[in-house]
Amino acid sequence: MVKSFQTCELCGRPIYGKAYKVVVEGVELTVCASCYLKLLKDKGLAKKSEKDSLSKRGLVRSKKSVGRPRPRRRAENYDVVEDYAKIIREARERLGLTRAELARKVQEREVTLGKIETGRLMPTIDLARRLERVLKVRLLEPVVDDEEEQEIASNPSGKSVLTLGDVAVLKKKDEEE
């Protein structure tokens, strides 16, 4: 017999324990305790006793357990190298890891890693970073625009050359008749 469970209509996670009915912008939603508290907090209606009872049941993390958010690098500025499959497979074999061990270390499915190693699937930027950290290889390269490429080719020193003509706007005086 399959046990069914409710999912939070706001965040999509399974609801364990009590489900809450809330109205958001005129729509009635069934939400989990975490989303319910966030909605109450946004409206300034959260009651301390309710938060305490939920945190005692393990449904809400205390502020002490929540870490400071780390600044994230923009993923759009990087791209996975072309020969990623060969690099990943060789690095894994060099370290003496099986696919299962590597999957456990990077928190990814073994099947997914198999597809990546055979070149049928390109890893996401996030997964590529985790693989780089575990395998100690370079899988990401900065993305360079066509304009940047031309600028680098025309200026081999790498320094940006800015001239007065690049920044000045010249206005001609209207000639008097």
Whether residue 98 is found in the same domain as residue 133: yes
pLDDT for 118 = 92
Domain for residue 105, yes or no? Answer: yes
Whether residue 80 is found in the same domain as residue 138: yes
Whether residue 55 is found in the same domain as residue 86: no
Largest CA distance in the chain: 95
Helices 125-135 and 84-94, packing angle to 10 deg: 30
- CA pseudo-torsion sign 25, 30, 32, 33: positive
Q: How far apart are the first and last CA of the chain?
A: 95
In the chain, the number of structural domains is 2
Domain for residue 162, yes or no? Answer: no
Report the C-alpha gap between 106 and 127 in whole angstroms: 7
Report the C-alpha gap between 52 and 33 in whole angstroms: 12
How would you write the pLDDT of the chain (177 residues) with one tens digit per residue?
455 678 888 888 888 788 888 887 788 888 888 888 888 877 654 444 444 445 555 544 444 444 445 544 444 688 889 999 999 999 999 999 999 999 999 999 999 999 999 999 999 999 999 999 999 999 999 887 666 556 656 665 555 666 776 777 766 666 554
Whether residue 82 is found in the same domain as residue 120: yes
Residues spanned by the domain of 89:
75-142
Domain for residue 148, yes or no? Answer: no
Whether residue 3 is found in the same domain as residue 48: yes
Whether residue 95 is found in the same domain as residue 36: no
- CA angle, 96 then 101 then 106, to 5°: 115
Domain for residue 173, yes or no? Answer: no
Domain for residue 158, yes or no? Answer: no
Give the chain's length. Answer: 177
Whether residue 2 is found in the same domain as residue 55: yes
